[in-house]
């Protein structure tokens, strides 16, 4: 599905902007899968799971911040072996019942109704989630409270996300800073900017002096960027 919408770049700072490779790196997911959640699968009549915020730019698929948060939850569902069909049904019902375009980026609507809807779908299919799950599966894991702890919400929509709250607690994504790229909270410098400077300088102390920040800030940014280097290939898989 191609969106023919003129992007107002003055508003892009409120939306966030991520290419598929950027999103894949942040989410530790394959780009082909993310693209299929945004655009749908080429040979299928099934609509995309995510109603994306942004049009194609230069022929490339891009995501907004809410799209990225939704993709994060879809990845979680996929890791639990839920099918795209089931995930799409959950999204559609949440949209209908709560009048929202981005159901997996909501707090109260998704947290309170998500499990109920999932159980309804399972019952309709007359199997435990389309026969993909075994007896050890816990329904609570699908919408477990801890999934929401790293996200801050306003008016029931996500506006800031700590992608690695335990290992890298100061790293946040917020569309109001650097178009949503990972930044260090408080100084709001993108982690990839500090990583690039560190790669060029070779010393964290020198980078800290250049940016007039603490050396610990540089080290945290470098450590976070290093954790992203283990992301999977970006084009290998769909679904």
Give domain status of residue 234, yes or no: no
Contact between 215 and 204 under an 8 Å Cβ cutoff? The reply is: yes
Please give the average per-residue pLDDT across 18-29, as a whole number.
96
Give domain status of residue 100, yes or no: yes
117-138 pLDDT, tens digit each:
776 776 665 454 444 444 444 5
When pLDDT is cut at 50, 70 and 90, the band that residue 11 belongs to is: low
* Residue 7: how many other CB atoms lie within 10 Å: 16
| pLDDT at residue 220, rounded to an integer | 98
| Cα torsion through 73, 77, 79, 84, rounded to 10 | -110
Is pLDDT at 86 greater than 90 in this prediction?
no
Give domain status of residue 1, yes or no: no
Please give the average per-residue pLDDT across 150-155, as a whole number.
95
Host domain of residue 94 = 9-228
Give domain status of residue 212, yes or no: yes
Q: What percentage of the chain carries pLDDT values higher than 70?
A: 80
Give domain status of residue 86, yes or no: yes
Is pLDDT at 169 greater than 60 in this prediction?
yes
Give domain status of residue 149, yes or no: yes
Give domain status of residue 238, yes or no: no
Residues in Cβ contact with 72 at an 8 Å cutoff, skipping those fewer than 6 apart:
27, 161
DSSP notation for 58-98: TTB-EE-HHHHHHHHHHHHHHHTT--HHHHHHHHHHHHHHH
| pLDDT at residue 4, rounded to an integer | 42
Q: Which range (5-9, 24-28, 205-209) has the least confidence?
A: 5-9
Domain count, the chain: 1
CA distances from 57 to 2, 4, 16, 53, 131 (A): 10, 10, 14, 12, 39
Give domain status of residue 236, yes or no: no
């Amino acid at each position: 599905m191609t969106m023919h919408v003129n992007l107002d770049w003055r508003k892009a700072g409120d939306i966030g902007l991520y290419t598929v490779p950027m999103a894949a790196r942040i989410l530790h997911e394959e780009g082909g899968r993310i693209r299929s959640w945004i655009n749908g699968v080429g040979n299928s009549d099934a609509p995309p799971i995510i109603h994306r915020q942004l049009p194609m730019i230069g022929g490339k698929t891009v995501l907004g911040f809410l799209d990225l948060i939704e993709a994060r939850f879809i990845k979680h569902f996929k890791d639990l072996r839920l099918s795209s069909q089931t995930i799409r049904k959950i999204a559609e019902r949440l949209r209908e019942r709560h009048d929202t375009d981005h159901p997996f980026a909501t707090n109260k609507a998704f947290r309170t109704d998500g499990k109920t809807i999932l159980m309804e779908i399972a019952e309709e299919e007359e199997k435990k989630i389309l026969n993909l799950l075994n007896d050890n599966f816990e329904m609570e894991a699908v919408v477990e409270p801890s999934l929401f702890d790293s996200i801050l919400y306003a008016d029931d929509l996500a506006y800031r996300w700590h992608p690695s709250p335990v290992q890298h607690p100061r790293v946040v994504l917020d569309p109001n800073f650097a178009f949503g790229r990972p930044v260090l909270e408080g100084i709001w410098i993108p982690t990839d900017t500090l990583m690039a400077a560190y790669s060029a300088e070779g010393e964290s102390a020198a980078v800290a002096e250049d940016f007039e920040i603490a050396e610990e800030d540089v080290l945290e940014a470098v450590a976070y960027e290093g954790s992203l280097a283990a992301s999977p290939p970006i084009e290998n898989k769909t679904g």
